[in-house]
Structure 1
Amino acid sequence: MNATTAFRAQLLPRLRAVPFQASTLPRVVRSYSAASSDTAYKYIAVSEPRPGVGQVTLNRPKSLNALSTPLITELNAALRTLDASPSIGAIVLTGSPKAFAAGADIKEMAPLTFSEAYTTSFIESWSDLTTAVKKPLLAAVSGYALGGGCELALMCDLIYTTTDAQFGQPEIKLGTIPGAGGSQRLTRAVGKARAMELILTGNFFSGEEAARWGVAARCYATHEELMEETLKTAEKIAGYSKVAVMAAKEVVNKSQDLALRDGVEFERRVFHSLFGSNDQKVGMKAFAEKQKPEWTHS
């Protein structure tokens, strides 16, 4: 039995024990497509379940939302569309109650040679959402978020999860390592010692541990509660000035790249720049007059 077969033999019986309930998915209010209204997605579903909130649901149930190049291509296209939409203020990325994404598609990766992976920059496009999406991106994680699925969640700006979700970077069991930022983002989230242990052993960690360690912001008992609270947070964010929200996301993300002194200076410059926006005037005037601000998003 090879490493891939052994890993699947260990994981799949546990996954089959968790029933998938399509009824737990939010009601679709508005549908989008990557290119036009005549184009449908195959591996994802896109909706607007709350005003101002776009939702992308990974939709490869037979493979537990395994991440393949075609799925990532659709995901990037959908995120670009939602990011460009003037009616969308925040985006939620989720999977099913059984699996957010149980890993990368092993069938796609297994036959690759070094030269093929290297010359085609295999999985480089996975990082597009960390650089191209300017609006807040919230991950709602139930079930398994393993390997590439864990990395995909870590790329998001905010993670909410169920208590019994299972995160992990088990690539070591397949004779390889994380390749989409797992070793870097997980280390920043939990520290070197804990990340080293998780990556070298391939051990999973629960949603409750993810929240306790700072990987996730909050954890919830059920998938239904998770989706309700994630969408509620996304709707709240979408109700603020898009200019200020974009700036807030930018300065927090910069804290991961800059030394403290440089980061504080960067934050101050962005803070100064917002005094040139209409929404800064709208917000402060409304506060002074005890009125609800009517954002112009400019």
Structure 2
Amino acid sequence: MVAIASVAKSLKNLKLQNTTTHLFRLQSIRTLLLQSASESVKLQKLNDSDSGILEVNLERPETKNAIGNDMLKGLQYAFETVNTDHTAKVLMICSSVPKVFCAGADLKERKAMSPSEVQNYVRSLRSTFSYLEALHVPTIAVIEGAALGGGLEMALSCDLRICGEDAVLGLPETGLAIIPGAGGTQRLPRLVGKSMAKELIFTGRRIGGRDALSMGLVNYCVPAGEARTKALEVAWDINQKGPLAIRMAKRAIDGGLEVDMKSGLELEEQCYEQLLHTKDRLEGLAAFAERRKPNYKGE
């Protein structure tokens, strides 16, 4: 029994070591995928042999990543590029600016807009975040520091949210005599419940990472500076699964939440049927029988 326990412990340590090594590779090997439509938005792909993990990096330090028209165009271009990349499996949205994810809309830029220009801007922002939400691959918001207003609304449009303990999240729009206009009034209550969402939006209260975790606003809260590492761990785990299955699971969950249970179960059946005749499903069965890692190709 002692020998068996020793072997089990050794295997566990080896698995942990392999995971740590792989995460180090993912963190250290990065290459620019393409030029964005904006200098403040960079799209990168992890240059790993089995990686389909992409990163959108926000880089506008002078405004704490506030979203102006130029950054908005960059985000739109990046999301469209990801959606047409057949090798993409997971998208992470990160910030290259220390201690800030995104401070929201660029209010200095907005101040110079006419009411009709503001309306068009907000409509475009809402449309962009809806497009992000509908991407065929899982998306992860990596939040270190402030995610306020439109910045939090962008994070709410992602499938998963991972933050550092020093994160500050909030929708302060009512303090400016407006409301969250890029999906915040709809996505926040779906995550944390109607009453809590009303409190946060009515008061504009800002919350920390631990509180965000306790109310279900984020999936993980980790020590400050470690959100990207945790996101890579989750992304790598997703990356090992059948990509077609992940896409169908996302479609079934998102679509099912908008309809009644009967219609949701019918949608689940439709999504399941689309996987029955795939090569990946047969590969998964074969790998299970042969006790090896499956080699999924998205076919």
**TM-score (ref. length: structure 2):** 0.83
Contact (CA 8 Å) 1:33, 1:78: kept in 2 or not? no
For 1:31, what is the secondary structure of its paired residue? strand
Contact (CA 8 Å) 1:211, 1:218: kept in 2 or not? yes
Q: Tell me by how many angstroms 1:122 deviates.
A: 4.5
| 2:76 equivalent to 1:82 | no
Q: 1:47 aligns with which of 39, 44, 47?
A: 44
Which aligned pairs between 1:63-212 and structure 2 lie closer than 5 A? 63-95=63-95, 96-118=97-119, 121-130=123-132, 133-212=135-214
Contact (CA 8 Å) 1:33, 1:41: kept in 2 or not? no
Q: Which has the higher contact order (CA 8 A, sep 6+)?
A: 1
For 2:197 and 2:133, how far apart are their aligned partners in 1? Answer: 24
Q: Tell me by how many angstroms 1:114 deviates.
A: 3.3
For 1:211, what is the secondary structure of its paired residue? helix
Q: 1:286 maps to what in 2?
A: 287
For 1:70 and 1:118, how far apart are their aligned partners in 2? Answer: 17
For 1:132 and 1:155, how far apart are their aligned partners in 2? Answer: 9
Cα distance change on mapping 1:81 and 1:119 into 2, 3 Å: closer
Q: Tell me by how many angstroms 1:31 deviates.
A: 0.7
Q: Which runs of 5+ in 2 are unaligned?
A: 1-26
Q: Tell me by how many angstroms 1:254 deviates.
A: 1.7
For 1:276, what is the secondary structure of its paired residue? coil
For 1:293 and 1:118, how far apart are their aligned partners in 2? Answer: 49
Cα distance change on mapping 1:275 and 1:285 into 2, 3 Å: same
Residue range with higher mean Cα deviation, 121-130 or 66-75 = 121-130
Partner amino acid for 2:77? Answer: A
Partner amino acid for 2:245? Answer: A
For 1:44 and 1:58, how far apart are their aligned partners in 2? Answer: 5
Cα distance change on mapping 1:201 and 1:231 into 2, 3 Å: same
Contact (CA 8 Å) 2:54, 2:90: kept in 1 or not? yes
Contact (CA 8 Å) 1:274, 1:280: kept in 2 or not? yes
| CA RMSD, Structure 1 to Structure 2 (Å) | 2.0
Q: Hey, which bits of structure 1, 4+ residues long, moved more than 6 A? A: none
Q: Tell me by how many angstroms 1:93 deviates.
A: 0.3
**Aligned pairs, number:** 268
For 2:75 and 2:29, how far apart are their aligned partners in 1? Answer: 17
Q: Tell me by how many angstroms 1:215 deviates.
A: 1.2
For 1:130 and 1:272, how far apart are their aligned partners in 2? Answer: 26
Q: Percent identity of the aligned residues?
A: 32
Q: Which runs of 5+ in 1 are unaligned?
A: 1-25
For 2:162, what is the secondary structure of its paired residue? strand
Q: Tell me by how many angstroms 1:130 deviates.
A: 3.1
For 2:55, what is the secondary structure of its paired residue? strand
For 1:105 and 1:118, how far apart are their aligned partners in 2? Answer: 14
Cα distance change on mapping 1:46 and 1:122 into 2, 3 Å: closer
For 1:287 and 1:195, how far apart are their aligned partners in 2? Answer: 44
For 2:161 and 2:147, how far apart are their aligned partners in 1? Answer: 11
Q: 1:242 maps to what in 2?
A: 243
**TM-score (ref. length: structure 1):** 0.83
For 1:123, what is the secondary structure of its paired residue? helix
For 1:106 and 1:251, how far apart are their aligned partners in 2? Answer: 37
